[in-house]
């Protein structure tokens, strides 16, 4: 991008921006030094407030000292790339994931907690997707099932979506699956806990766009469960998803 500022002006602006980030003050022409601290305080407060709002569970998990130190390190060391303030928390998540911070040994589920909280924001803020035309009524076994397209499936190693983070312990480590989707009418984000089988089934329905009878034939071999048992359990599960308006209907 072409820079239309005079070189000297660009230098002064860059120095002020660096000061706001790092607190290290280089000479800036026309600066009133006893007031410059206000600039950094105001900018830092925007960053801190945005992150607290985006990650309330993480904010409540960390001590005040841990939070302040981490946000200050992020603000000082990370050059944010996004021009949208609401996207900045994702860069905070990336920063923690890529940084060798002692917090990850204290809270081994920290990056998953941050990602879980970010995914709710991403779903809520995502651009509207086109919803398919559907038949409201149909047979789950023989008709292709159509989902609300505004959803995410997450696989987690810790129950960050189920337990207060302050109560998560090492023995909680395992396999957890979560369906998140944006309600078409209210825009609210809905959460559905899934077993391994239901996570597999949800993904297969979405990707294959095939009727349930085709998918469960594969599932019976994969999970070692007879077809009729899988069918009955699947219809019960899918009926619940239809009640929650995640399943829109059936392909015409």
How many residues are there in the chain? 252
Please check whether residue 1 lies inside any domain of the structure.
no
Please check whether residue 2 lies inside any domain of the structure.
no
- Tell me, yes or no, whether 46 and 95 share the same domain: yes
Tell me how many domains the chain contains.
Answer: 2
Question: What domain range includes position 198?
Answer: 134-251
- Tell me, yes or no, whether 146 and 219 share the same domain: yes
Q: Measured between alpha carbons, how far is residue 42 from residues 35, 39, 68 in Å?
A: 12, 5, 15
Q: Which one of 81, 101, 125 terminates a domain?
A: 125
- In three-state secondary structure terms, 111 is helix
pTM for the full model? 0.84
- Tell me, yes or no, whether 179 and 214 share the same domain: yes
Q: Measured between alpha carbons, how far is residue 53 from residues 18, 92, 117 in Å?
A: 25, 13, 10
The CATH number of the domain holding residue 222 is: 3.90.930
- Tell me, yes or no, whether 243 and 189 share the same domain: yes
- Tell me, yes or no, whether 118 and 144 share the same domain: no
- Tell me, yes or no, whether 12 and 119 share the same domain: yes
Q: Which one of 93, 125, 157 terminates a domain?
A: 125
Q: Which one of 125, 155, 185 terminates a domain?
A: 125
- Tell me, yes or no, whether 141 and 71 share the same domain: no
pLDDT tens string, the chain, 252 residues long: the values are: 445 445 555 565 666 566 666 665 555 555 656 666 566 777 788 889 999 999 999 999 999 999 999 998 998 888 777 778 899 999 999 999 999 999 999 999 999 999 999 999 999 999 999 999 999 999 999 999 999 999 999 999 999 999 999 999 999 999 999 999 999 999 999 999 999 999 999 999 999 999 999 999 999 999 999 999 999 999 999 999 999 999 999 998
d(CA 118, CA 114): 6
């Amino acid at each position: 991008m072409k820079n239309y500022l005079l070189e000297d002006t660009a230098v002064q602006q860059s120095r002020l921006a660096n000061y706001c980030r790092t607190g290290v003050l280089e000479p800036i022409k026309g600066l009133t030094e006893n007031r410059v601290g206000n600039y950094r305080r105001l900018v830092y407060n925007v960053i801190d407030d945005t992150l607290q709002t985006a990650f309330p569970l993480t904010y409540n998990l960390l001590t005040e000292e841990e939070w302040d130190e981490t946000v200050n390190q992020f603000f000082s060391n990370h050059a944010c790339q996004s021009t949208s303030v609401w996207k900045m928390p994702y860069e905070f998540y990336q920063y923690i994931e890529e940084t060798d911070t002692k917090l990850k040994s204290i809270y081994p589920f920290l990056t998953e907690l941050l990602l879980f909280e970010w995914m709710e924001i991403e779903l809520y803020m995502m651009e509207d997707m086109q919803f398919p035309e559907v038949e409201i009524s149909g047979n789950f076994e023989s008709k292709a099932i159509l989902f609300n397209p505004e959803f995410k499936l997450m696989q987690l190693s810790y129950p960050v979506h189920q337990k207060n983070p302050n109560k998560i312990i090492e023995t909680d480590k395992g396999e957890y699956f979560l369906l998140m989707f944006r309600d078409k009418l209210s825009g609210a984000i809905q959460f559905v806990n899934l077993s391994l089988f239901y996570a597999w089934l949800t993904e297969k329905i979405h990707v294959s766009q095939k009727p349930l009878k085709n998918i469960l034939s594969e599932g019976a071999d994969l999970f070692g469960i007879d077809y009729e048992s899988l069918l009955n359990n699947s219809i019960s599960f899918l009926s619940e998803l239809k009640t929650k308006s995640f399943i829109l209907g059936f392909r015409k």
